């Protein structure tokens, strides 16, 4: 009967709905958490590193006028929000959170592009759950450590780890 084939079964509709609702709930939670991160205050370590980067941008010398035990790369990375603050007038902490969220977004985008090489077509549950879990791992799980060196390393490494997983499966990249 051709009309029976055209009408999706109740289980197919349920599966499709579940395929949208489960990751959708994770995405909503992650976006809500990202919006909450725009609220002050930021972590005191992040605030100090941002302040040192702002002062470094203002002409003071790193490790001469500005003493800190952190390696220089974290200050270089914080020059981006310091420049955003200087150019646009957006407050430094908000510029920092925006920069971190943009960095996480790029990492998630790259990770989602690589994910089909890691998760096979027969692994529907993994394909359903892994994308929002990546977002949660990079955006929500860090909590108060959002923007710390360790968090930024994990954000940087997520696409690489997925590439490594694809290579372990011997998938050509």
What would the pLDDT profile of 3-29 be if each residue is shown by its tens digit? 555 556 777 777 777 777 777 787 788
Q: Which parts of the chain have pLDDT scores under 70?
A: 1-8, 37-38, 40
Strands (E) across 81-145 are located at none
CA distance 2 to 35: 49
pTM of the model: 0.80
The percent of residues above 70 in pLDDT, for the chain, comes to 92
- The confidence score (pLDDT) of residue 37 equals 67
The tokens for 170 are 């011997």
- The confidence score (pLDDT) of residue 4 equals 52
- The confidence score (pLDDT) of residue 63 equals 94
- The confidence score (pLDDT) of residue 66 equals 94
φ, ψ (nearest 5 deg) of residue 142: -60, -25
CA distance 104 to 173: 22
- The confidence score (pLDDT) of residue 102 equals 93
- The confidence score (pLDDT) of residue 85 equals 96
- The confidence score (pLDDT) of residue 158 equals 96
């Amino acid at each position: 009967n051709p009309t029976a084939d055209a009408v999706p079964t109740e289980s197919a509709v349920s599966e499709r709905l579940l395929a949208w609702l489960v990751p959708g709930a994770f995405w909503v939670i992650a976006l809500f958490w990202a919006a909450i991160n725009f609220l002050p205050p930021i972590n005191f370590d992040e605030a100090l590193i941002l302040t040192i980067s702002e002062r470094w941008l203002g002409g003071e010398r790193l490790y001469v006028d500005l003493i800190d035990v952190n390696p220089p790369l974290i200050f270089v990375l914080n020059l981006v929000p310091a420049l955003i603050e200087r150019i646009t007038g957006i407050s430094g902490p908000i510029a920092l959170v925006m920069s971190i969220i943009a960095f996480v977004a790029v990492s998630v985008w790259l990770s989602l592009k690589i994910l089909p090489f890691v998760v096979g077509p027969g692994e529907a549950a993994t394909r359903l759950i892994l994308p929002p879990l990546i977002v949660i791992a990079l955006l929500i799980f860090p909590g108060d450590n959002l923007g710390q060196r360790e968090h930024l390393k994990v954000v940087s490494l997520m696409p690489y780890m997925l590439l490594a997983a694809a290579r372990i499966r011997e998938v050509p990249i």
